[in-house]
């Protein structure tokens, strides 16, 4: 456990007393991405906390938030305290009615004791993956048993977020073509469980069959994620969804795969930070920008200059003791 960072004594005390406002403030520190956030994380860390991190990803409108709410309610009823970290860049553009929906849903969940936090800022130290991973750590230390990470399944930042989960659930619309889209977006490879949501409407079963077909193309039988139909809205099939998650967790814990995943998660988060730091600092402060400019001034083509600068930087890195 690290020393309590200066100026954070009151925050640390309130966090340890279980004040939810302190958790929210601690997450803001992490999002702001200042160095002192690391000492705060060290001080508050609880590596042995009993906490599962479940990623929920898929296209906009598939029902990720609705599913997250349904899971959060089910777990809360079992006495498992649940936090929902929603990373949904589309929430900024939808506005209007949808935004109203979101706020209503968030406040209904909060009154059930679910902690809801939306995260949009990229953070400045290691991007969104680092910020969300750190926020999940804080929720675990605070005493939450379940952390849901909701993210739209597009783009690198969102993939970084999914890599911070123990298990990933992919939620799809019940319409033909969604399975193929998901395959193209690489979603099928990251899924531990595939859900065709909105089974109260038409086409869910057919979409599930399409998905099974798409899975035949990308995965062998032993590593195929289960495909289920459900309605997050009216609760249909939710018992099966909860049961499937439970047995996936058992398999992960028994085979030692969970430790591997958690190591991969730490590595991925460190990679986000190192990558981000290198890009920012080596480029501007480490002189890579200046060197590239010199080459461009000499008439070297941009891509060629990049190759030379990269090789030079890697050669210098190789001299750093590992
Ligand atoms: N009919 C039906 N509508 C649903 C279901 N789940 C979500 N929805 C609706 O689909 C819309 C998008 O849901 P939302 O959870 O915000 O999707 P997200 O963008 O993936 O988070 C909302 O209007 C929901 O009420 C479902 O199981 N059945
Ligand atoms: Mg959502």
Contact 170, 176 (CB under 8 A): no
- CA of 66 from ligand 1 middle (Å) equals 6
Express each pLDDT in 198-253 by its tens digit. Answer: 999 999 999 999 888 888 877 777 778 999 999 999 999 999 999 999 999 999 99
Q: Read off the pLDDT of each residue in 70-77 and give the average, rounded to a whole number.
A: 93
Can you give the residue ranges of every domain in the chain? 1-45, 46-255, 271-318
Express each pLDDT in 280-319 by its tens digit. Answer: 888 888 889 999 999 999 999 999 999 999 999 889 888 8
Calculate the CA 44 to chain-centre distance.
21
Q: What is the pLDDT of residue 152?
A: 78
What size, in residues, is the chain? 322
State the pLDDT confidence band at 134, using cuts at 50, 70 and 90: very high
Q: What is the pLDDT of residue 4?
A: 77
Gyration radius from the chain CA atoms: 22
Structural fold of domain 46-255: Rossmann fold (3.40.50)
Which ligand 1 atom minimizes the distance to the CA of 231?
A: 27
- Ligand 1 atom 3, closest CA: 198
State the pLDDT confidence band at 185, using cuts at 50, 70 and 90: confident
Tally DSSP H helices, then E strands, for the chain. Answer: 16, 7
Q: What is the pLDDT of residue 74?
A: 94
- CA of 35 from ligand 2 middle (Å) equals 30
Q: What is the pLDDT of residue 195?
A: 96
Distance CA 119, CA 83 (A): 13
Distance CA 126, CA 246 (A): 32
DSSP structural state of residue 221: G
């Amino acid at each position: 456990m690290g020393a309590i960072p200066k100026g954070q004594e009151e925050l640390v005390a309130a966090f340890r007393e279980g004040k939810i406002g302190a958790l929210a403030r601690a997450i803001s520190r992490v999002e702001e991405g200042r160095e002192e956030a690391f000492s705060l994380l060290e001080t508050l860390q609880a590596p042995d906390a009993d906490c599962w991190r479940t990623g929920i990803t898929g296209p906009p409108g598939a029902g990720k938030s609705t599913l997250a709410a349904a899971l959060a309610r089910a777990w809360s009823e079992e006495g498992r305290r649940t936090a929902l970290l929603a990373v949904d860049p589309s929430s900024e553009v939808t506005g209007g009615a949808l935004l109203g929906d979101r706020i209503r849903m968030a406040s209904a969940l909060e009154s059930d004791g679910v902690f809801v936090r939306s995260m949009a800022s990229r953070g400045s130290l290691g991007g969104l993956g680092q910020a969300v991973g750190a926020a999940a750590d804080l929720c675990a230390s605070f005493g939450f048993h379940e952390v849901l990470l909701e993210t739209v399944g597009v783009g690198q930042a969102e993939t970084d977020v999914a890599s911070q989960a123990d298990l990933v659930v992919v939620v799809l619309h019940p319409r033909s073509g969604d399975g193929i889209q998901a395959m193209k977006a690489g979603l099928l490879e990251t899924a531990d469980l595939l859900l065709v949501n909105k089974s109260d409407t038409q086409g869910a079963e057919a979409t599930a069959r399409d998905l099974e077909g798409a899975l035949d193309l990308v995965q062998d039988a032993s590593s195929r994620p289960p495909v289920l139909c459900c309605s997050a809205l009216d609760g249909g099939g939710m018992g099966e969804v909860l049961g499937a998650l439970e047995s996936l967790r058992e398999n992960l814990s028994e085979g030692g795969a969970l430790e591997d995943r958690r190591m991969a998660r730490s590595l991925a988060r460190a990679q986000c930070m190192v990558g981000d730091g290198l890009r920012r600092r080596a480029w501007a402060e480490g002189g890579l920008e200046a060197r590239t400019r010199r080459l461009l001034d000499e008439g070297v083509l941009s891509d060629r200059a990049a190759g030379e600068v990269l090789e030079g930087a890697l050669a210098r890195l190789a001299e750093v003791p590992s």
